[in-house]
Chain A
Amino acid sequence: MPETATTPIRTGVIGATTTTTTTAFTGVEVDPPLRSAQGTLTTEERVEELRERARLTDKAGFLRNDTASLSERAADIHHVSFSVQLDTMTTRLATQSPVRLLDELGDLGFAWRDIARMVGVSVPALRRWRAGERPTGDNRREIAQLLAFVKIIVDHGFVFEPASWMEMPVSSAIATTAIDLYSEGQLEIVFDLATHNITAEQALDLIEPDWRTSEESNWEVLVAEDGAPYIRPKHDGA
């Protein structure tokens, strides 16, 4: 005999939501006994669930671009989403062999010197790991994090050929590259640049808030012929 056979009320995506029933005797909505919150999903239902997850990150990006008053809050959501995604993906990738992770980074086009910089080690150290020597736990996680980071900026559809993008100066007026920023631990800023949520000037504001006035700054602000301001390294010449 069935445990229950009552009036079903179901909302939202089929299979992706909890089904509730109204008992005939109490009129109180309850979860069906022992019913899992999520049934067996078809592939299409699973695809829709994945899209919903992906939209969470996209949602933050749209808010930031379109709604200035909500920019800060949207940025927080975006960064939290990014941080969680980066952390979980790093953890998963860290289960793979460091050799495989390094090979995948190499296949993506990164120079070994750049990988070494971003991981925070020497090129000979990379060479030893590729030859089979075990990195420390911290270094293993750094390698996984770098690959996770690259996958995220690619998977969000904003960056193609991540190696050459990261080698490129973040602006024609700034010599700093995304590899420089990553190497200095500015992952969120690189992510924001990759997702077009900040300009290169805003990135500098975040890295060196007094760069406009400080004599120590390596940057200077000039005005172009069309009247638009731009910045460039001071050592770049006239």
Chain B
Amino acid sequence: MYKHPPVVFVTAETKFPGNIGEPVPSPVQHAIGGVLGEDWVVDQVQPGITVNLGMPFSGALGGAAIGGGAFGGASLGPTNLGGAMVRFANRDRTMSVALTAGTLSVETTRYANWDDFRAVLSVALEATEKLMRPTGVTRTGLRYIDEIRVGAVIGNDWSEWLSPASLPPSAGLMAAAGWPPETWTGLAHYQIGPDRHMVLRYGPQPAQPGFLVNPNGPLKRPGPLPPGAFFGLDFDAFWEPTGIPIWKTEDLLQTYDQLRVPVRSLFDSMITERLIAEVFEAEGE
């Protein structure tokens, strides 16, 4: 792990047969807190939370504010979720475990390393297996969101920091001709195994709003948000089995281990040694 890693958000979502939207059974709501331990507290699902967790990509890829929805042009105000989700957060609100009648999500804004994240994921998967007794698994997904920030970048000239594969076609040639790329967006889809895929969305991001993950969202981002433009990466590696295999926590953990590998490989291939040396491994804060 780098001294200054660019990862700002990681989520692992496991889906299982169940009607998402139905209330999580009350006994489970009580019991899961006990399984997670005293370091976890119930985190109310507040209405109207606005996060910007996506890829604005010059407006083409959404970037829609989440929460505070409206109907017919007029806000209806908070919507009662009726216990459809129970969410626990750690005490510094940088990690959460959320359960619905059909999904389990473990996510963090303070990603230290895979082993630590995996340990919490393991507890949450085991608790879900024990308490919800899922009849199977329909999907597992692992998502990494990175914000690469380099103060020295002028305009959108990322050529010193990202490998050519991450730049727009003929970026150098066009820049040399006096036609530098202003912005670009990227979407790539990879097959990473049987029933396994990875989608990458990437591109430079503007200084406003200046983040992919809202620092004032339900999960807090550690440290002050660095200002300025940045380069966004959104990796989504997932397994969607054609059938509904039996839920086995150990197998699921291994699946997550395997999903992580191509994410890391692709990330490493998209950056330069200079970025690592001068940004990710730079001395000081």
A153-181 CB mask vs B (1 if < 8 Å, else 0) is: 01111000000000000000000000000
Say whether A51 contacts B11, CB under 8 Å: no
> Chain A: interface residue count, which band?
35 or more
**B64 interface contact, C-beta 8 A:** yes
Chain A hits for B19, CB < 8 A: 88-89, 92
**B45 interface contact, C-beta 8 A:** yes
Say whether A8 contacts B201, CB under 8 Å: yes
- Docked pose: A40 CA to B53 CA in angstroms: 12
- Given known contacts A8-B60, A13-B62, A19 and B187 CB-to-CB distance under 8 angstroms: yes
Choice from A41, A42, A53, A58 contacting B21 with Cβ under 8 Å: A53
- Docked pose: A208 CA to B217 CA in angstroms: 53
- Docked pose: A49 CA to B139 CA in angstroms: 17
Say whether A39 contacts B199, CB under 8 Å: yes
A155 to chain B, nearest CB (A): 3
- Docked pose: A43 CA to B100 CA in angstroms: 10
Give B39-87 interface residues, CB cut-off 8 Å to A.
45, 47, 49, 51, 53-55, 57, 60-64, 66-67, 69, 71, 76, 79-85, 87
Q: Which of B101-109, B120-128, B220-228, B247-255 contacts A (4 or more CB under 8 A)?
A: B101-109
- Given known contacts A47-B85, A89-B22, A92-B22, A36 and B79 CB-to-CB distance under 8 angstroms: no
- Given known contacts A9-B60, A151-B23, A44 and B80 CB-to-CB distance under 8 angstroms: no
- Docked pose: A213 CA to B196 CA in angstroms: 69
Say whether B105 contacts A42, CB under 8 Å: yes
Give B1-50 interface residues, CB cut-off 8 Å to A.
9, 11, 13, 18-23, 25-27, 45, 47, 49
Chain A hits for B188, CB < 8 A: 2-5
